[in-house]
Amino acid sequence: MPRPVHFEIHASDPQRLIDFYSEVFGWNFERWGEIPYWVITTGDEDMGINGGLTQRQGPPPAADAPINGNVFVVGVADCQASFNAALRAGGAEALPVTDMPGVGIMAYVKDPDGNVFGMIAPTMPPQG
């Protein structure tokens, strides 16, 4: 069955979002060629996918606009700490930290360009 293998973030001000995601999650960004595109490396140790950041081809979404596209969710060890880091780095609350029984602790944030993303500290199934 096909699975997602890459994600892309659209940015009106690429450097602002590079700084934001680097600070919040420690991601690495590398410019790719002459076009305004950066390859994002999210890490090598845990399960996940890498992505890219590209120059937005129009204005950012309005503050109250519905989500237009896909939302990616980042696995984190401590959702509250990551949520707080995102707010300190210039993000805004889209959905507060919430306990989803049987799923995990999750939250959604708007990055400084208005893109919504989620974060989750998954609930581990009981051992044995």
Of 3.40.50.300, 3.40.50.970, 3.10.180.10, 3.40.50.720, the CATH number of 6-57+70-122 is 3.10.180.10
Q: What is the pTM of this model?
A: 0.82
DSSP secondary structure string, 63-123? TTPPP-S---EEE-S-HHHHHHHHHHTT-EEEEEEEEETTTEEEEEEE-TTS-EEEEEEEP
Read off the tokens for 98: 């919430």
pLDDT over 60 (residue 127): no
| Among 112, 106, 104, CA closest to 23 | 112
Write out pLDDT tens, residues 23-49. Answer: 999 999 999 989 999 999 998 887 788
Nearest-angstrom CA–CA distance, 90 and 20: 7
Extents of the domains making up the chain: 6-57+70-122
Write out pLDDT tens, residues 8-28. Answer: 999 999 999 999 999 999 999
